[in-house]
């Protein structure tokens, strides 16, 4: 499962070239951005140098490219640069352009991958926030496109590319990491069918198109300045475009995308629906149990990589959120299978208060271990003050455990913890810890 901190580029880096659809010269410059800034385009050729968020809500047109607009300010053909940033794990950046469309390069996203690598990649001091798919989201279009996102602990794409009259049917599947993206997807070039070229030109599109930046399919013949880079290059390019369009949801995705006949229209329709469902669940889920939805932070394996505790004394199933560097929220799903319920008490199972305090301590330890220089240490419980138990915790409860680090001096830390069920505080305490090398 993906985790870790947000990333940005290390320094400004520029790429000059010709735009695909306008045919105009353009220079694109990537610049670093702070945590939680996101990805924003900036038109430096316009008065006041306005920004446009890389957000599906800004999508204006999707004919042969994805275009964004904020009022009268527009940027076109954004999918390749967004795909490269997503594929290489960049969460925050400014994309400055002195025209309305990025350079097309060789028709792939490889030039942008090289641009990112030349700028360098820097990890920021803030956790990455994911959109974790918990339920299937599907769209189906009249044109025969079917796109579905299924729950997964990885970001995986499975693409079936189908041309007119079922020509050039290809398939590609991979779990997307920076390594697989750079090697398997970035080099795949854009393509078009010969019979589509004249209508596109009549619409004022592809003015900068050539056999140097696209593969043309004419009957059974493939027209290109170089040999095909992959036997399924077209499916790979569709996957690359899909990643760029999905990035408009605003967060890296944990889910398995299955796409049959994807295109910019279906891609952005799916992205909009995914973002809408995510927002809806964020609003609905906290009401019954106050469980944050979608932001996967640390799963059970990652929790165990930080804490030495194991069954039956591990009191945290997963970490569901961080706030800055000092606050953390964990979750423990309680069932009758918990060992302590067997004897506390027979016929009237209640979670021991001392174990609720232990759960607070474990979540607080995770906060402490994330502080600089503490990763290889272990936290020892020193004291608990102002402990209060307000309500019994029983099998079937979903225990939310919150901890805030309020003081850290040397190897001694102090934290405030509390446990909640259905939004109600059931216990709380002030805790003190000492850190030692393992």
Could you tell me which residues are annotated as the binding site?
Answer: 80, 237, 241
Question: 398 pairs with which residues across the strands?
Answer: 333
Q: Is 264 a catalytic residue?
A: yes
Question: Tokens representing 21?
Answer: 């659809």
Question: At CA 422, angle to CA 419 and CA 427, rounded to 5?
Answer: 25
Q: In a 3-state reduction of DSSP, which class is residue 83?
A: helix
Separation between Cα atoms, residue 296 and residue 66, nearest integer Å: 28
272's CB contacts (< 8 A; 6+ apart) are 56, 57, 59
Q: Is 309 a catalytic residue?
A: no
Tokens 């003190």 identify what position?
A: 432
Separation between Cα atoms, residue 115 and residue 431, nearest integer Å: 48
In the chain, % helix, strand, coil (3-state, to 5) comes to 25, 35, 40
Separation between Cα atoms, residue 238 and residue 241, nearest integer Å: 5
Q: How many DSSP H helices and E strands does the chain contain?
A: 9, 25
CA neighbours closer than 13 Å in the CB half-sphere of residue 360 = 32
Question: 408 pairs with which residues across the strands?
Answer: 413
Q: In a 3-state reduction of DSSP, which class is residue 304?
A: helix
- Could you tell me if 127 and 297 are in contact, meaning their C-beta atoms sit under 8 angstroms apart? yes
Cα–chain-centroid distance for residue 346?
45
Separation between Cα atoms, residue 187 and residue 185, nearest integer Å: 6
Catalytic residue, candidates 76, 344, 348, 391: 344
Binding residues for Zn(2+): 80, 237, 241
Catalytic residue, candidates 76, 264, 309, 391: 264
- The residues annotated as belonging to the active site are 264, 344
């Amino acid at each position: 499962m993906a985790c870790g901190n947000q990333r940005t580029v290390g320094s400004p880096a520029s790429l000059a070239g010709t735009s695909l659809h306008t045919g105009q010269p353009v220079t694109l410059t990537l610049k670093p951005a702070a945590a939680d800034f996101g990805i924003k385009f900036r038109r430096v050729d316009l008065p006041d140098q306005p920004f446009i968020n890389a957000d599906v809500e800004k999508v204006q047109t999707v004919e042969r490219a994805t275009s964004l607009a904020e009022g009268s300010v527009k940027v076109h053909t954004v999918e390749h640069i967004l795909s490269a940033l997503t594929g290489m794990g960049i969460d925050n950046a400014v994309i400055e352009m002195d025209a309305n469309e990025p350079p097309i390069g060789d028709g792939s996203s490889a030039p942008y991958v090289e641009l990112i690598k030349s700028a360098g990649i820097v990890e920021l001091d803030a956790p990455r926030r994911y959109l974790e798919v918990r339920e299937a989201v599907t769209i189906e279009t009249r044109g025969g496109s079917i796109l579905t996102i299924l729950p997964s602990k990885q970001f995986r794409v499975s693409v079936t590319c189908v041309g007119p009259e079922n020509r050039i049917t290809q398939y590609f599947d991979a779990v997307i990491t920076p390594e697989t993206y750079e090697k398997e997807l970035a080099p795949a070039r854009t393509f078009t069918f010969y019979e589509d070229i004249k209508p596109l030109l009549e619409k004022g599109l592809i003015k900068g198109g050539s056999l140097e930046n696209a593969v043309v399919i004419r009957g059974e013949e493939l027209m290109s300045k170089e040999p095909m880079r992959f036997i399924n290059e077209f499916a790979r390019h569709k996957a690359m475009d899909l990643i760029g369009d999905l990035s408009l949801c605003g967060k890296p995705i944990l889910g398995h995308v299955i796409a049959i006949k994807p295109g910019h229209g279906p891609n952005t329709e799916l992205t909009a629906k995914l973002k809408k469902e995510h927002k809806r669940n964020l609003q609905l889920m906290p009401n019954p149990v106050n469980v944050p939805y979608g932001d996967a932070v640390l799963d059970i394996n990652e929790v165990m990589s930080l804490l030495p505790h194991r069954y039956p004394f591990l009191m945290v199933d997963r970490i569901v959120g961080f706030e800055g560097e000092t606050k953390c929220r964990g979750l423990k799903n309680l069932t009758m299978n918990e060992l302590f319920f067997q004897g506390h008490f027979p016929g009237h199972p209640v979670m021991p208060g001392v174990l609720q305090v232990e759960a607070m301590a474990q979540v607080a330890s995770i906060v402490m271990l994330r502080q600089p220089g503490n990763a290889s240490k272990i936290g020892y419980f020193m004291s608990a003050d102002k402990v209060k138990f307000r309500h019994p915790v029983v099998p079937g409860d979903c225990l939310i455990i919150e901890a805030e680090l309020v003081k850290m001096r040397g190897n001694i830390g102090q934290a405030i913890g509390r446990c909640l069920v259905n939004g109600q505080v059931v216990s709380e305490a002030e805790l003190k810890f000492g850190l030692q090398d393992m």
